[in-house]
Amino acid sequence: MPSSSPRLAWIWAVAVFCCAVIAGPGSADAQTRAETLRQVTANTINTLDPTMAGATREAFGLSMNVYDRLVAFTRKPRGNGYIFEKDKLRGELAESYTVSPDGLKFTFKLKRDAKFHDGTPVTADDVKWSLDRHVSSKSLAASQLATGSLTKPEQFKVIDPYTFEVTLDKPDRFALPNLAIVYAIVFNSKLAKSKATPDDPWAQGWLKDNTAGSGAYTIETFKLGEQIVLKRNEEWTGGIDGKPAPFKRIIMQTVPEAATRASLVEKGDADISIDLAASDVLSLESKGRLKIVSTPQFNAFSLIAFNTKAPPFDNVKVRQAIAAALPYGDLFKAAIFQRGQPLYQGKWASAPETSDFPQAMPVQQDLARAKALLAEAGFANGFETTFSFNVGSAAVSEPIAALTKEALAKIGIKVDVQKVPDAQMSTFINEKKVPFFLEASIAWLPSTDYFFRVFFTGPQRWNYSSWDNAEIASLTDQARFELDPARYDTQTRRMIALAAAEVPAILLWQPNQDAVMAPAIEGYTYWFHRQVDFRDLARKGS
Amino acid sequence: MTTSTLNHVAYVLRGNLVTAAAAAGTALLIAVAILGPWITPYDPIASNVSIALQPPSFAHWAGTDQLGRDIASRIIAATRLDLLIAASAVSLSFVVGALIGSLCGYHGGRVDRWIGRVVDILMAFPLFVLAMAMVAALGNRVENIIYATALINLPFYIRFARAEVNVRRNLGWVEAARASGNSHFQVVTHFLLPNILPAMAVQISLNLGWAILNAAGLSFIGLGVQPPTPEWGIMVAEGARHITTGKWWLVAFPGLALMLAVLCFNLLGDGLRDILDPRMRT
Amino acid sequence: MTTLASISRRTGTRFVSSLPALLGVVVFTFILMRVLPGDPAVFFASGPNAGKAEIEEVRRLMGLDQPLLYQLALYLRDIATGNLGRSLTTGQPVLADIQQRLPASLELTFTALVLALTLALPLGIAAALNPGKLVDHAVRFACTLGVCVPTFVSGLLLIYAFYYLLGWAPDPTGRLDIFAQAPPRITGFLLIDSLIARDGTTGLAAASQLILPAATMALFVLAPLARMTRASMLAVLGSDFIRTADAMGLSRARVVGVYALRNAMLPVLTIAGIVFSTMLGANVLVEKVFSWPGVASYALDALLASDYAPVQGFVLLMASIFVVVNLTIDVLYGIADPRIGIE
């Protein structure tokens, strides 16, 4: 190589490749980098319609930015970022809303200047069509909205082009929050209807690859599985101040290797990433050149679940024994480097101090007690079982599995660890085929009774432990529609106490969401959907 | 082995230090695999979270991993499993492949054509993806990794054995064996197979290295052996993710062990070729 | 019979005889995917509140509620009409996904192969000219070293060195710098498309993205190519006509570079063909490490999600490419050496 500088050598190597390429006009009128935000993610966006079965979490995040809903959650500062407020809502497409005194009727006044991306105004007809679609079409939306007693089109009424009414049969405190979640997006009904077919009256096929929204961003390019580029909607009215979003352009790119994502952010080539490996976050933090917003995911949890329907885990003493055998501190340290909120070593015994959930449960390692409990359960010599987790979570789960295996060996339980591909794990959990496993989950609308209803009752997948407790079932039914705060408090405390006594699952922790970003990025908010809401972000000094 | 062959081997080893070194390296690996449990300084799966992720030191000369386990002990303990996976997979495909292949080569005809078709099908598969799919379908356990690796090696052995037997089947000594009352099966197993064995040894040695790499690749995408079992591929795959955080020992030492093994098998295979086929040396 | 007619007839026969193998590949993959214990319907109906009804709906949409043989018959009929099904991971028809992604894989594999050949040929020739000498051993050792490192390790190391530490390479995120403008898609090969568009900047950008992943793959296939070059050269150099040429007093460079090399190329070509089709299917790990939007990483993601259609489509594609590459080599052989006839 005739060059002396290595940099030159590189360029040389490149030049050899393109010796045939005749230099043409310079491409890419370099978009001003400062006005562009580049996010790198592990997963892909697989649909533009978040209600489609199989939509990824990234698709949820995207829909927040491309579509508007009637209402939105507000946020409050926390540390060097923000966190969403689950009990305080504001209008997004609605200018204002009122709730009737009996709690059965919600009246929304729509913003008169709100427009869809094609310029047509947003009217109550669009809202009606969209909500009708959510409760009637085959999608993920119907069952979610049902948790807020929104189940049939008759509940949605157009009063005039800018007034819309929702009625309930029973007061339900989840009705309004359900209109702020990912699924409750409002479509441009004229556009969507023009794409509908007799087979597909809700235009689900078309909306998967196209958008018909009024949100803060429009889609400039969408390369499935690679990247998506968003362009700011200058006419957007859904923000708190009614102004367009700060960034002109957003690039969301899929980079499967965690180490590469970390390098990209560290070198400043990417502006933000929310799914780095914990070890990378630690090392970036120690270097101190980037901004890291760490938020305990207070609406999520990691847990170890038992199949409480089959032996040996149908025996409460076995579950208590295992809860007393685990080295919680080591698990917390080895798996997530203590980046989170522990849900063990609660300071209470039989009655919880608050009615919040998830909260730290009263479990800690006590091998003597564990052995005694196991003997009482009739397993003095232990037993054999399997412990499963999914490949996708291996970075966190493998240390947990190894330590659990080691700890349970001390009380005579022989554990066979099984790392299973993600799709298989979903099947096993759904069909209740795994006796003892690791899982992490999230509730969009975090309230104690909602958690218990979703995760500890009924035959659905999310009741990981298949826990069937008559008292919990009746408590969740009561608490769901309970309007008296004192009674609600008593009911939910009882649920927590029951879970502590019966140990249907062992709660481990709420992992932090570590959003790592360039120091100049401001406004990062932790949202219920755990994705980046680009509308919040701005670059300092531009 | 006759004295003259031994002399030839000695001659080649003297003249070819690389092959000699590879043979020594292989011997060392086998020794470590056999002695494994007795020479690990620590229990390879005992955790000690308080000393997690420590760089190499006098006590832990290859450092410790995320659970505070001694990496050197894990590498030593993994040798047996890795060699076992490679050796079982390769011998499985060799035995089955050589038998089927030589029967095809000997008999020819319809059976040969049908088996040829099946081999064509196997050859046309993207082999690594086939291994992935098999392990995903059967569950990631050691035996399934072995079966998958054996299956994707199988077509090469069948083809090789078929071709080798095909050129020999009408030679005089085969005719003689047949004429002296041996059954066809006996001719194949007692006369033809031993005769083509040396030629196949080269392939076997090369494949051993390849089988280890294959297992490492499966580990990287999460289809390797189950934790906390120590295995080079998993250790490398996990360590590789720490490259940017400066924890080089997590990938360097298991990586070196893996490289050493593959290198030895490959160079040994080359050396065997030289020993068996002096013509190639000109 | 003219040579051309003989070649085309031979090609036709070979093509027809490879069809049963392709059918076998399709059926075998179909069965293998059904053996996977994962139920794609459950995986894809994973909204926070998806219940039994949603899962049944997904299953019905995917046709998973039908008997297996019926599903297979439907699938074969679909393939015959060019429909490879729909991917649940991306939500697109598999054929469209593959069309989108195949050029990326092909471009990477071609570049890697060219890179490997430009290194392997001189190395192999050098080794063949000095058999048993230091050069020979050094070449063999260096090439073997390349095969010993798993591609995901060498890839990550190259990224660490050239992107993270030295900063010479562009960020390893796919085929083109995110801020560069892609050339209008004509062939899907970025180098060719930018050549057509006469856009040097983009061509340069695309090439610099290609170097690291291509080098990673090239390192891995150097050994078989160099080994075959050496062996083939040795055989040719020992043959009578080379001795004759030498005896006639032709220059050594001419004898080696023209007469010997030309004759030694045929086996190398065969190996290159095999290497190409294996590389294309086996570069899963390289594509993952470099966020390369190719077909192999597409198949891997689908496999882990128990998403049947893309895996089946991918395997069929790879098998077809394998057949086509073999045919091409055959034809080239036939042209180079007309003595080879139909078996």
Residue A145 has pLDDT above 60, yes or no: yes
Give all chains having 3 or more CB-to-CB distances under 8 Å with chain A. B, C
State the pLDDT at residue C282: 76
Closest approach of B224 to chain A, Cα-based (Å): 9
Taking the Cβ of residue A427 and every Cβ of chain B, the question of whether any pair is shorter than 8 Å is answered with: no
| Closest Cα in chain B to C319 | B124
Asked if residue A267 has pLDDT above 60, the reply is: yes
Q: From B222, which residue of chain A is nearest by alpha-carbon distance?
A: A391
Q: What is the rounded average pLDDT of the residues B83-93?
A: 94
- CATH code: domain C97-267+279-294 is 1.10.3720
Q: Is A20 exposed, middle or buried (0-12, 13-18, 19+ CB in 10 A)?
A: exposed
- A472 membership: H or E segment, kind and range: helix A470-480
SS (H, E, C) A233-256: CCCCCCCCCCCCCCCCEEEEEECC
Residue A285 domain-assigned (yes or no): no
Say yes or no for a CB contact (<8 Å) between A403 and B244. Answer: no
Q: Which of residues 221-280 of C touch A (CB under 8 A)?
A: none
| pLDDT classification of A534: cutoffs 50, 70, 90 | very high
Under 8 Å CB-to-CB from B150, ≥6 apart: which residues? Answer: B88, B89, B90, B92, B93, B96
Q: If you ran DSSP here, which 8-state letter would residue B191 be given?
A: I
Sequence-distant (6+) residues with CB within 8 A of A41 are: A58, A252, A253, A254, A255, A261, A273, A274, A275
Select the more confidently predicted residue: B242 or A90.
A90
Beta bridge partners of C144: none
Q: Is the CB of residue A325 less than 8 Å from the CB of residue A381?
A: no
Cβ neighbours, 10 Å, residue C331? 15
- Residue B81 has a pLDDT of 94
β-bridge mates for residue A71, sequence order: A91
Nearest to C38 among A7, A392, A427 (CB): A427
B residues 127-166 closer than 8 Å to C (CB): 127-130, 132-134, 136-139
- Residues A383, A468, single domain; the answer is yes
* Residue B166 touches partner A, C-beta closer than 8 Å: no
pLDDT band at C341 (very low <50, low <70, confident <90, very high): very low
Q: Which of A148, A174, A190 is the last residue in one of the domains?
A: A190
Q: What pLDDT shows up at residue C307?
A: 82
Last residue of a domain, one of A190, A206, A233: A190
Contact C148 B240 (CB under 8 A): no
Which residues, numbered 74 to 113 in chain C, qualify as contacts with chain A under a Cβ-Cβ cut-off of 8 Å? 88-92, 97, 100, 111
Q: By C-alpha distance, which of A213, A190, A191 is closest to A115?
A: A213
Contact A43, A56 (CB under 8 A): yes
Query: Residues A487, A386: one domain?
Result: yes
Give the mean pLDDT of C38-57: 65
The helix or strand, by DSSP H or E, that contains position A108, with its residue range, turns out to be: strand A105-110
Structure tokens at A237: 């009215």
Among A263, A402, A405, the residue with its CB nearest the CB of B244 is: A263
My answer on whether A368 and A244 are in the same domain is: no
Q: Alpha-carbon distance A450 to A461, whole Å?
A: 15
Q: Given CB atoms, is C51 within the 8 Å cutoff of chain B?
A: no
Q: What is the arithmetic mean of pLDDT over A481-496? A: 92
Whether residue A399 is found in the same domain as residue A326: yes
Task: Provide the mean pLDDT of chain C.
Answer: 82
Residue of C nearest to B236 (CA): C153
- At C184 the pLDDT is 80
pLDDT value at B137 more than 90: no
Same domain, A98 and A30: no
Chain A positions touching C301 (Cβ under 8 A) are 225
Cβ–Cβ contact B66 with C under 8 A = no
- What pLDDT band is residue A227 in, cutting at 50, 70 and 90? confident
Subunits with 3+ Cβ pairs within 8 Å of B are A, C
Interface of C with A in 150-209 (CB under 8 A): 156, 159, 162-164, 166-169, 171-174, 178-181, 183, 191, 194-195, 197-204, 207-208
3-state DSSP assignment of residue C51: coil
Task: Inform me whether the pLDDT recorded for B102 exceeds 70.
Answer: yes
Band of the pLDDT at C12, cuts 50, 70, 90? Answer: confident
By mean pLDDT, which of B74-88, C12-26, C210-224 is the weakest? C12-26
* pLDDT attached to residue B227: 85
C-alpha span between A174 and A182 (Å, rounded): 14
Does the pLDDT value for residue B282 go beyond 60? no
Backbone angles phi, psi at A222, to 5 degrees: -140, 105
User: What percentage of chain C exceeds 90 in pLDDT?
Assistant: 12
Taking the Cβ of residue B228 and every Cβ of chain A, the question of whether any pair is shorter than 8 Å is answered with: yes
Q: Hey, are the CB atoms on A277 and B228 less than 8 Å from each other?
A: no
Those residues whose C-beta lies under 8 Å from the C-beta of residue A337, and which sit 6 or more positions away, are A278, A279, A282
> What CA–CA distances, in Å, run from A362 to A352, A365, B53, C123?
9, 11, 30, 68
Q: What is the CA radius of gyration of chain B?
A: 22
Chain A, chain B: beta-carbon pairs less than 8 Å apart: 77
* Confidence tier at C38 by pLDDT (50, 70, 90): low
pTM as predicted: 0.86
Same domain, A529 and A499: no
Q: Domains (ranges, CATH) in chain B?
A: 3-43+67-281 (1.10.3720.10)
Convert the pLDDT of each residue in B147-158 to its tens digit: 999 998 898 899
Task: Report the distance separating Cα A162 and Cα A154, nearest Å.
Answer: 18
Total tally of structural domains belonging to chain A = 3
Q: Residue written as tokens 């050493």? A: B260
Please tell me whether the interface predicted TM-score (ipTM) of this complex is above 0.90: no
Q: Does B243 touch chain A (CB under 8 A)?
A: yes
Is there a contact between C164 and A21 if contact means CB atoms under 8 Å apart?
A: no
Model confidence band, residue C48 (pLDDT cutoffs 50, 70, 90)? very low
Q: Which residue has the higher pLDDT, C339 or A305?
A: A305
* pLDDT for residue A17 is more than 80: no
Q: Please check whether residue A203 lies inside any domain of the structure.
A: no
> What is residue C175's three-state secondary structure?
coil
Please report residues of B whose CB lies closer than 8 A to that of C270: none
pLDDT at residue A9 in the model: 54
Average pLDDT over residues C296-310: 85
- Strand, coil or helix: what is A517? strand
Instruction: Measure the CA–CA gap between A540 and A538, rounded to whole angstroms.
Output: 6
pLDDT > 80? residue B15: no
Residues A225 and A245 in one domain: yes
Q: Which ranges of chain C does DSSP label H, i.e. alpha helix?
A: 3-35, 40-44, 52-62, 68-80, 94-129, 134-148, 151-158, 190-196, 200-237, 240-247, 252-254, 261-282, 284-289, 295-304, 308-336
Q: Is the pLDDT of residue A28 over 60?
A: no
One domain for residues A219 and A313 = no
**Tokens 């030498």, located at residue:** C246
Does residue B273 register a pLDDT over 80? Answer: no
- Domain positions in chain C are 1-89+305-343, 97-267+279-294
Q: At what angle do helices B127-138 and B193-220 cross, to 10 degrees?
A: 70
Is A294 a domain residue?
A: no
**Which residues in chain C have Cβ-Cβ distances shorter than 8 Å to B243?**
156-157, 160
Query: Hey, what amino acid is at A198?
Result: P
For A53, the domain range is 6-66+215-277+518-539
Put simply, whether C36 touches B (Cβ < 8 Å) is yes
CB-CB neighbors (< 8 A) of B270 in chain C = 140, 144, 227
pLDDT value for A30: 47
Judge residue A222's burial from the number of C-beta atoms within 10 Å of its C-beta, 0-12 exposed, 13-18 middle, 19 or more buried: middle
More confident residue, A365 or B185: A365
A308 shares a domain with A176: no
C-alpha triplet A34, A37, A41: angle, nearest 5°: 150
To the nearest whole number, what is the mean pLDDT of chain A?
A: 90
Interface test with B, best of A393, A406, A415 (most B CBs within 10 A): A406
> What pLDDT is attached to residue C338?
60
